[in-house]
Amino acid sequence: MTIAFDAATESTAWTTIPDPQLIVHTPTGTPTWALLLIGQAVGATDDIDGTPTYGGVSMPRVMSVGMTTGEPGRVYAFFTNNPPSGLQTVSIPHTASANTKIATIITGTGTGQVVSNGQASSAESASTFAQSKQIRTGSAA
């Protein structure tokens, strides 16, 4: 199986508006997967308060990493297989906060199957272990 990087688009930094944050992304090829990475400064009310979409296709959260005490930040990852081709809008719903957020949408191409495999993130608590996921690409066995 071949997995290849296709294109990436970074958002401008955003704070309270717009909600949802919109990013226009154009793959260069026919994408087989899309990955959305969001980094943000953390405040008490910061969160991605819904499911982002890529061209109307839901992108489930596959990872959420909170920083350790004293580190002001959080990183989210959202992923989908078989996103639509051509110019697409990425929509990211979020809580209104003055803390800066920035996102990067990445598409890739490949042959064979792309698998999203559930595994715990090292930053997750035991109570969220089963809900946390990590991305893995490879052929189905």
If you write DSSP's letter for every residue of 49-62 in order, what string do you get? -S--EETTEE--EE
* pTM summary value: 0.76
**Facing residues of 5 across strands?**
108
- Per-residue model confidence as pLDDT tens for the chain (141 residues): 677 889 999 998 888 888 899 999 999 989 999 999 998 877 666 778 889 999 999 999 988 887 666 666 788 899 998 899 999 999 999 886 777 889 999 999 877 655 555 444 444 443 343 344 444 444 444
**Amino acid residing at 94:** H
Reduced to 3 states (helix: H, G, I; strand: E, B; else coil), residue 5 is strand
Residues 6+ apart with CB under 8 A from 41: 72, 73, 99, 100, 101
Look at strands 61-66 and 88-92 and give their pairing.
Answer: unpaired
